[in-house]
Structure 1
Amino acid sequence: MSNTIAVDRLETELAGLLTSDLSTGGRFGAALREILADTTAFARHQEANLRPEVIEAFAEKIRTNGVKYIYFMLPTLGARTVAKVVPAEHFERMLRKGIAFHRTALTDLQTSREGELIGGGVDAHEFWGLPDPETFQVLPWDTEVGRVFCTAYDPPHLGEEGGRMIPLDTRSLFKAAHKGFTERTGLELRSGLEPEMTWTGPGIEAISKQDQSPAYQVENLEKMRPVYKKLYSYAQALGFDMIQGDYEDAGQIELNWEYDRAELSAERLTTYRQICKQVARELGLEASFMAKPYNGKMGNGCHHNLSLWKTTEGGDVNVVEDGRVELHVTDTARHAIAGMLLHTPGSMVVMASTVNSYKRFWDAGQFAPSGADWGLDTRGVAIRISANGRMEYRLPDASVNPYLSHLFLLAAIEHGIEAQLEPGDPGQPSALIRDVVVPNTLGSAIEALEADEYLMGAIPEELTRIYLQLKRDEWARYCGQITQWEFDQYWEAIP
């Protein structure tokens, strides 16, 4: 590349940064603020729920399947799920008013080191979770129990603040953000997730020689046969299109399902975790999505395989590629990649959300990336371009909140496309990306998000404020712990 072209590209990148309204998060942030200011959201959702055809369809599903109990559920900031169980005959009342939770349920009812409930304290008001009827499903391990996801709102009786969607409800927030992204850009984000997880218990110990990986060996898959058979069965009953799976390390398996719209992929990961916990209970095993359970063994990643689609007269088109045979990406994809790489430091507190998450990046030779880089079909980078037209973002781990990770990625992608940012070529980062440093501890990740002016403007203030409070508290608790490693290093070694 000539010096003239390089200078021109750098000037284009800097101009894009200046015109993208960093402090307010560009069009992405403005659109979310408008959505969250809508005090009619609850009333419109309620009206839709009470249409006669909706009530009858819900009642028919209950009758047909013999459902007696229903979980009314919401995902939390910490990627868990909270719920209340309601006798099925009261479903119509739930469609009208929903289920009430203390507001701090969305922050996992986490108490700070100072003893205060994070997210509003004991005096925080309730929120109302209105069910989304289209998400109703019957649990295959007990068909008398159904479940339905809800959207969180401030109750209408709160006056001027009432009726608005709550930004801590990351599932509903991402759905709204994705809808707006598509309206502005004409693009739809689709994703396929690769959650790895570790199983322990009798009968599933790995077979391998010393200094040899147990990955892919059929005998190790055979040991996991009772596990994967139940997982496949339950997942398929809940609408997953399961496509493949493999054995990766001691007790670690990865089962994949077909990619889809990003909000559906995120929802399926939430469901998959519930399936795994149920299978573990039935088989007397333990199942963990902890990011790095053991030194010297693979961590549990959750690669996000991303593609951008446009609807045309000839059908849906993946704009990451343009039909050429050789491995490549389009200009649109390059801009999206640049946005994701530029905002990787600020996103890391979401992609690697626990203290343990960062141990995955310190263990050399374990296929976990540690930089803001990209490449063509290589597994040592943050974003790998695969032969089937996807951008594999390899930094998230299996403990990730998938709604929050997709929300941050979508904001970064829109910034890249809006400002026409350039990532440089594989192995030759642009001036914009060259000096990007990826955090390697939770503490530095917290600081990186606070320093990312665009993301702090794009993501709702209440969400970033409370999420960072949760993460600061976790980091402080960890830093205050005296570990066995410290005893081994210092107890007798210091004169």
Structure 2
Amino acid sequence: MNGVVSSNTLLLEEIQKKMEEEKVQFLLASFSDMNGTSRAKLVPAKRLSSVCESGAGFAGFAIGDLGHGPTDPDILCIPDLRSMTILPWQKNLAWFAGTLTEDGTPWSYCTRTILLNVMEKAKKLGYEMKTGVEPEFFLLNEDEQGGISPSDSLDVAKKPCYNQLALMRNYDFLSTLINYMEELDWNVAQADHEDANGQFEINFEFADALTSADRLTFFKYMVRSMAEERNLVATFMPKPFSHLTGNGCHMHLSLWDGAKNIFSNEKDIKGNGLSETGYHFIGGLLKHARALSAIVCPTVNSYKRLTAMSTSSGQTWAPNQISYGGNNRTQLVRIPGSGRIEFRAMDNNANPYLATAAILAAGLDGIEQKVDPDVIISEFSGINEVFGIQINTLPATLQEAIIELEQDSVLLEALGKDFMKTYINRKKEEWSEYHDFISSWEIEKYLKETN
């Protein structure tokens, strides 16, 4: 314990020194709520030490339905010093990802803590998960009536993917974003114009699962802030336009033991460069795919991306079959190269910490139970033939996904039963809100056209 205290003290001193050198005046003590929305308090930099010791207080009841009433004590956000990120566009401000405590103990409704708990289980089994994410987003204009359209009025091609002219018309935004990310040492690989008009994607280097979740959280904040500065709207919404390809957040992942990639196997007889452990991890993802959907695709809108039949480009790119394969983008789990896999269902409405925790928990169950992904697919096909139900597809709606999640004891246990009970209840309410709302399409279809 003394060694840990000493290490933390040294890190605090190092961070304080850097903040002084960089002339940082304020810090954001930030955390993600159940839905992945960032919550924060602005704290003078000179208060860093006391905030690390006693936390920044939040009234849990004010944040949403997270197990707190108005009479409960504050939840306390403890900044993780390792996550310090000086804002490239506002250098006197540093952002810290925090974990939440209540009465001095970890709070079971803290999604970052949930991820840390699953990571600790993996560590005890000898695994560290490393992830890389590919967040997609739209840059939009919003008119006075609230209507949205791509911010680039010339971006109208039916197949705009990789369009060089459209890419370069957005050069200022994208190059500034990349420079910011390079300043943060994220090691950007590339940026491209995606399959929809006004849609872009940035790829950057993989890291340990917690760091990647922190970076994705900050990335979304950074992109939205940059868009607001330019009087634009940046959205990560899964399906903002019915006729265009939606936004995904593909996750590349692998398990490591120190410097050894446990997923790597050059002698893989299937030719994918994947180890037996890697295939078992995939088996876990396929086994839990339908329940997992409620976490990685957590909104009503998510399923309009997953179930899209066609778009103006002729492609959807979103998986809906519970399947895996080699370098094939139609699969739920793609194996793009030796030693790693890509999980393609996740979208950016997912809480990065909760989604990562759920994916890891499902994969670990596959390893522990030695789940063969080919057997899972075969079993699904068999059920299909006998009962005539499409259990080999992902859920078609949020309601369907929540029903699956309620029955998945592995995920409920791994993510915390109390938290998951609240999560499931809130998602049921969300479905009811959607179901009970009368849309303009319904008015047009059933009032005007039929009367």
TM-score by length of 2: 0.89
Task: From 272, 278, 282, give the equivalent of 1:337.
Answer: 282
Output aligned runs, 1:116-127, within 5 Å. Answer: 117=65, 119-127=67-75
Amino acid at match of 1:177: V
Are residues 490 and 52 of structure 1, via their aligned partners in 2, closer, same or farther at CA, if it must alter by over 3 Å? closer
Q: Out of 277, 281, 304, which is 2:251 matched to? A: 304
Partner of residue 386, structure 2: none
Tell me the secondary structure at the aligned position of residue 430 of structure 1. Answer: helix
Provide closer, same or farther for how the CA distance between residues 130 and 203 of structure 1 changes in structure 2, counting only shifts above 3 A: closer
Structure-2 change in CA distance of 1:402 and 1:85 (3 Å):
same
- Per-residue CA deviation, residues 93-138 of structure 1 (Å, 9 max, x unaligned), is 2122111111246xxx23xxxxxx5532323321122222222222
Whether the aligned pair in 2 keeps the contact of 1:72 and 1:99 (CA below 8 Å) is: yes
Matched residue type, 2:202: L
1:452 counterpart = 2:402: no
Contact 2:66–2:109, Cα closer than 8 Å, also in 1: no
State the Cα deviation string for residues 457-482 of structure 1 (Å, max 9, x = none): 33211210111122112111111100
480 and 395 in structure 1: CA distance in 2 versus 1, 3 angstrom threshold: same
Who is 1:322 aligned against?
266
1:365-387 superposed Cα distances (whole Å, 9 cap, x missing partner): 41111121111111112111112
Instruction: Give the aligned partner of residue 137 of structure 2.
Output: 197
Cα distance in 2 for residues equivalent to 1:118 and 1:491: 40
- CA separation in 2, counterparts of 1:62 and 1:328? 44
From 86, 89, 93, the equivalent of 1:138 is 86
- Provide the rounded CA distance (Å) in 1 between the counterparts of 2:6 and 2:113: 16
Higher RCO (Cα < 8 Å, 6 or more apart): 1
* Counterpart-to-counterpart distance in 2, 1:328 and 1:433: 26
Q: 1:332 to 1:430 in 2, by over 3 A?
A: farther
Change (3 A) 1:442 1:49: farther
> In the alignment, what sits opposite 1:54?
11
Give structure 1 regions of 4+ aligned residues with deviation exceeding 6 angstroms. Answer: none
The equivalent residue for 2:394 is 438
- 1:51 and 1:409, CA in 2 relative to 1: closer, same or farther beyond 3 A? closer
CA offsets per residue over residues 356-415 of structure 1, 9 Å max, x none? Answer: 111002221411111211111111121111124321111111221111111111111111
Q: CA deviation at 1:288?
A: 0.2
The whole-number CA distance in structure 1 between the counterparts of 2:256 and 2:74 is 39
1:348 aligned partner: 293
Matched, 1:167 2:108: yes
Taking the aligned partners of 1:124 and 1:494, their CA distance within structure 2 comes to: 53
Matched to 2:277, the amino acid is T
SS at match of 2:256: strand
In structure 2, how many angstroms separate the alpha carbons of the residues matched to 1:144 and 1:121?
A: 36
Equivalent residues in 2 for 1:286-301 (5 A)?
286-301=233-248
Give unpaired runs (5+ residues) of structure 2: 142-149, 310-314, 384-390
Q: What displacement does 1:451 show?
A: 1.4
Q: Give deviations 1:7-43, integer Å, cap 9, x for gaps.
A: xxxxxxxxxxxxxxxxxxxxxxxxxxxxxxxxxxxxx
**Structure 1 unaligned spans of 5+:** 1-43, 111-116, 156-162
The 3-state SS of whatever aligns with 2:172 is helix
Partner residue in 2 for 1:85: 42
Q: Is the 8 A contact 1:372 1:433 kept in 2?
A: no
Gap change, CA 1:456 and 1:55, over 3 Å in 2: closer
Confirm or deny: 8 A CA contact 1:199 1:288 kept in the other structure: yes
Which amino acid letter does the alignment assign opposite residue 174 of structure 1? Answer: L
In 2, the alpha carbon distance for the partners of 1:51 and 1:294 equals 47
Contact 2:263/2:340 (CA < 8 Å) preserved in 1?
no
Taking the aligned partners of 2:12 and 2:339, their CA distance within structure 1 comes to 41
Instruction: Indicate if the aligned counterparts of 1:197 and 1:300 stay in contact, CA closer than 8 A.
Output: yes
